[in-house]
Amino acid sequence: MVKTVLSVKNLSKKINEKIIIHRLNFRVQSGEIYGFLGPNGSGKTTTIRMITGLIKPSAGHVTICGHDIQLEPKKALANIGAIIENPELYPYMTGKQNLDNFARMYPKKISQKQIRRMISLVNLSDAIHQPVKNYSLGMKQRLGIAQALLHQPKVLILDEPTNGLDPVGIRDLRLYLKKLAHQNDIAIIVSSHLLSEIELMCDRVLIIDHGKFITEKDLSSYQTNNSRQYTFKVSNTTHISNFFSATTISDINHFTINCSEEHIPEVIKKLVQSNIDIFSITQQKTSLEEDFINMTRGEK
């Protein structure tokens, strides 16, 4: 059953009379990957630090699994795990020794069965008895995730989890996180600068700028929107506007039309009947990156 596991209501932070975060509101559901985006200096890190209890908000509320972080901090934080940038690991200990060490730090006893389950969950069984200094960056990230999940939180926060990973490592981490969220009903909040990766990984995204809410998007819209822009390179565009509505003529040889893929044959047929040669057709797909740039292009 999908339920709200993190609720941020009217969250604000003022430092030295400067408003860093201004009345931020959003909710995260169980089993989803939620992207948290914004330009440098937008307030992402400050927001994450308030959600994880590292700093206190000036106003507003953070509620985790029904517990207000200011009124019931222990109960709220018991339901959250986080990796801020790189996981803190002891390089000369084995992966297993690292997990055993961190397990002892939690007030509630964590069993060896739970530790073994986390090792299996992050696919590190074959390397868990090797020193962490021998791990790849991707393996260290997965060990860090196992560490953050030891106490079985309902919310996992990852700040720039793909930093330093090569393309294969980024893809593997993306696939792993999607499986972790959707199969284990864990809400994962990801902050990253790799917008193309966020588009592939996340179910929804929140964009903030200057500490203010800009938009929240369901990323399925990028895959399900049938209407696309197509740019045609042709022999002549002089009479194009007579044939098609909703067209943009760039120059004597290029025009752009909004239509679904199913209508492209009709456009081609009309051009051929009008003795207009077609040299190329290019699909212009709107991406999260383009939307992000357009939405945060204000004065800096």
User: E-strand spans in 168-226?
Assistant: 187-191, 204-209, 212-218
pLDDT band (50, 70, 90) for residue 36: very high
Round to the nearest angstrom and report the end-to-end CA distance of the chain. Answer: 42
Q: What's the chain's average pLDDT?
A: 87
pLDDT of 299 higher than 50: no
**Which class would CATH give 4-218?**
alpha beta
The answer for 49, left when phi > 0, alpha when psi is -120 to 50, beta otherwise, is alpha
Question: d(Cα 280, Cα 254) in Å, to the nearest integer?
Answer: 10
Q: Which two tokens stand for residue 297?
A: 């292009």
What is the rounded average pLDDT of the residues 180-185? 90
pLDDT of 280 higher than 60: yes
Q: Which two tokens stand for residue 275?
A: 């003795």
SS3 300: coil
pTM of the model: 0.76
| Residue (of 14, 30, 33) closest to 22 by Cα position | 14
Question: d(Cα 262, Cα 157) in Å, to the nearest integer?
Answer: 41
User: E-strand spans in the chain?
Assistant: 4-15, 18-29, 33-37, 59-64, 67-68, 80-84, 155-159, 187-191, 204-209, 212-218, 227-234, 247-251, 254-260, 278-284
| Residue (of 145, 147, 135) closest to 174 by Cα position | 145
Q: Which two tokens stand for residue 43?
A: 């307030």
Percent of the chain with pLDDT over 70: 94
What is the rounded average pLDDT of the residues 151-171? 86
Chain centroid, CA 201 distance in Å: 6
SS3 74: helix
What is the rounded average pLDDT of the residues 272-286? 84
What is the rounded average pLDDT of the residues 20-36? 95
pLDDT of 162 higher than 60: yes
What is the rounded average pLDDT of the residues 275-297? 79
Q: Which two tokens stand for residue 262?
A: 């199913």
227-289: which CATH number, 1.20.120, 3.30.2000, 1.10.10, 3.30.70?
Answer: 3.30.70
What is the rounded average pLDDT of the residues 190-197? 84
**What are the φ/ψ torsions at residue 196 (nearest 5 degrees)?**
-65, -35
Residue with tokens 């040669």, as numbered in its chain: 277
- Asked if 180 contacts 132 with a C-beta cutoff of 8 angstroms, the reply is no
- Domain range annotation of the chain: 4-218, 227-289
Stated as kind and residue range, the H or E segment containing 142 is helix 137-148
What is the rounded average pLDDT of the residues 239-256? 78
pLDDT for position 224: 54
What is the rounded average pLDDT of the residues 271-276? 90
In sequence order, the 6+-apart residues with CB closer than 8 A to the CB of 293 are: none
